[in-house]
Amino acid sequence: MHHFHFYAALAALLLLPAAAAAAAPDPDQGQAAAVVEVQGVRDDRDEKSYRKMLAGMQVFDSNRQLAPGATLRFKVLPRRAGVSLQGLSLQLRGAHTKVAIPLDADMTFELPRDAAAAQDDAMVTSNRKAGSLTWRAEIRSPGTPDKTRRLGDLLLECKVGMVADLVAYVPSPLNVLITKLPDPCRTLSINMFYFTERPLFSVALMQGARRVVLPAAQLHGPDAPILTDLQDWYFLRDKAYMMQFKPLYEQGWLDDTLLQFDYMDDDPPGGAL
């Protein structure tokens, strides 16, 4: 099976950042100074195109069957050591637009639908330097048990992220082409990174009586990653897992399949030491 693997030597390196930010500090070399609010020009800010995020919202509206009853939110996460989320603020900002975006304690937010802001070519702008944040779609069907995610929710996050330009990748011609395809999340065996709330020990797929533990190679990124200064998952790798939707759906896994997470700090079974 051919994989558009971001760390394969001859691949187009999908799922790496769309812009080459400053090299990330090595997490093993201690924390860098906290990133503070930017007071300079707009290009210094970590931001996303409002028009593209609106397009992602339209993809969500067109694919609600994947996540019945869910709402679409977006989420920001630290991308590098030293990036503080304390005091983080977001704003819909353009030449004639200035609208504060409420940010919840879990760093998720909803976007308003504002035709005038889209016409103004507004940006969803943070008060952090460019390259500071990882941006994701956040879709959770109601009633999903704790420590689980639905497969359909994750697939829809991928679809939204592709269109909204929330998928980090090296902007080679092939990668740009992949993101423009009608449904690369389902038609190509590309790896998509997701993050849990706590350091991850294992992930199991569950559908009725069927249960399969994901291979360890799909957790925490590759053992010998390359270009770590360009990758937006590396700082969060203890919470990271990879999904390939095409083979999973070909194997008969359904949208209601649950991913069950075991965390590093969970109590051992039976209280064993």
Has residue 159 got a pLDDT over 50?
A: yes
Cα Rg of the chain, angstroms: 19
Q: Which residue has the tokens 């065996």?
A: 189
Q: What pLDDT, on a 0 to 100 scale, did the predictor assign at position 16?
A: 37
Q: Is 201 helix (H, G, I), strand (E, B) or coil?
A: strand
Q: Provide the mean pLDDT of the chain.
A: 84
- The answer for residues whose C-beta is within 8 angstroms of residue 124's C-beta and 6 or more apart is 47, 48, 49, 50, 53, 90, 91, 92, 93, 101, 111
More confident residue, 195 or 5: 195
Rounded CA separation 136/148 (Å): 18
Going along the chain, which residue ranges are E strands?
45-49, 72-78, 90-93, 98-101, 108-109, 123-129, 133-139, 148-150, 192-195, 200-207, 210-213, 240-243, 258-263
Has residue 26 got a pLDDT over 80?
A: no
What percent of the chain has a predicted confidence (pLDDT) above 90?
68
- With b for 16 or more beta-carbon neighbours within 10 A and e for fewer, the 70-84 pattern comes to bebbbbbbbbbbbbe
Alpha-carbon torsion 165, 198, 145, 218, what sign? positive
- Highest mean pLDDT, choosing among 23-27, 106-110, 263-267: 106-110
Q: Look at 128-142, 185-199, 219-233 and tell me which has the smallest mean pLDDT.
A: 219-233
pLDDT digits (tens, 9 = 90+) for 42-97: 568 999 999 999 999 999 999 999 999 999 999 999 999 999 999 999 999 999 99
CA dihedral 21, 36, 80, 43 (to 10 degrees): -20
Query: How distant is the alpha carbon of residue 133 from its chain centre?
Result: 11
First to last CA, the chain: 41
